[in-house]
Amino acid sequence: MLERARYIVVEGPIGVGKTSLARRLAEHLSAPTLLERPDENPFLGRFYQDMARYALQTQLFFLFQRIEQLRSLQQEDLFKGMVVADFLLDKDPLFASLTLGDDEYALYRQIYLALKPAISAPDLVIYLQASPETLRERVRRRGLDIERHIGEHYLASVAERYARFFYQYDAAPVMIVNAEELNPIDSETDLSLLIERLHGMRGYREFFGYAN
């Protein structure tokens, strides 16, 4: 699977390590990256302190940013090469549905559907899973000032929405990775095992690092 993939996405909830893994995988494949830029969102810090007040502004900023990034890729024709991204635009409504009221979500959906670029689905999605407790510990450990107000309840809700989203997602092959048991970011052995498993992937949905 991996040798045929040109558009690869690493996804997962806050703190699971998707950006770090995207960078490591891109380095291994000698591919460019397409990464989220949360530091550019002027509403994000305020959102974590007062979600009800700043959810719509935060969500729309990220939506416009991601759409601009994907359109830039289309213009540069990089999708004909290889690229590793740390976000999936189809997942964008996940956060919106979690944080917006009904009227705001309806407005967001109108904007999302009107502006969403017509791009091909990824050739491969790597979905990292971890428990809310692990996510909270990793967020605490990386020590970003902007994230100090993120609570475990919010992380648990995000993790649950991710699990529900990828349970139904069928637009691309998905490798679901147990990031509790495997650490392909810090462990060369685990990264090599993951890459080997991705090369050998034959099904449309596979699990790696699970007892079953």
Question: Residue 34: which of 95, 2, 76 has the closest Cα?
Answer: 76
Q: Please tell me the distance from the alpha carbon of residue 8 to that of residue 201, in angstroms, as a whole number.
A: 14
**102: annotated active-site residue:** no
Q: How many CA atoms lie within 13 A of 39 on its CB side?
A: 3
Q: Please tell me the distance from the alpha carbon of residue 44 to that of residue 174, in angstroms, as a whole number.
A: 29
Amino acid residing at 7: Y
| Sheet arrangement for strand 205-208 | 33-34, 83-85, 7-11, 124-129, 174-178, 205-208
Strand ranges inside the chain, DSSP E:
7-11, 33-34, 83-85, 124-129, 174-178, 205-208
180: CB partners within 8 A, 6+ apart: 129, 130, 131, 134, 209
What torsion do the CA atoms of 92, 98, 102, 106 make, to the nearest 10 degrees? 0
Catalytic residue among 50, 86, 92, 190: 86
Residues catalogued as catalytic: 86
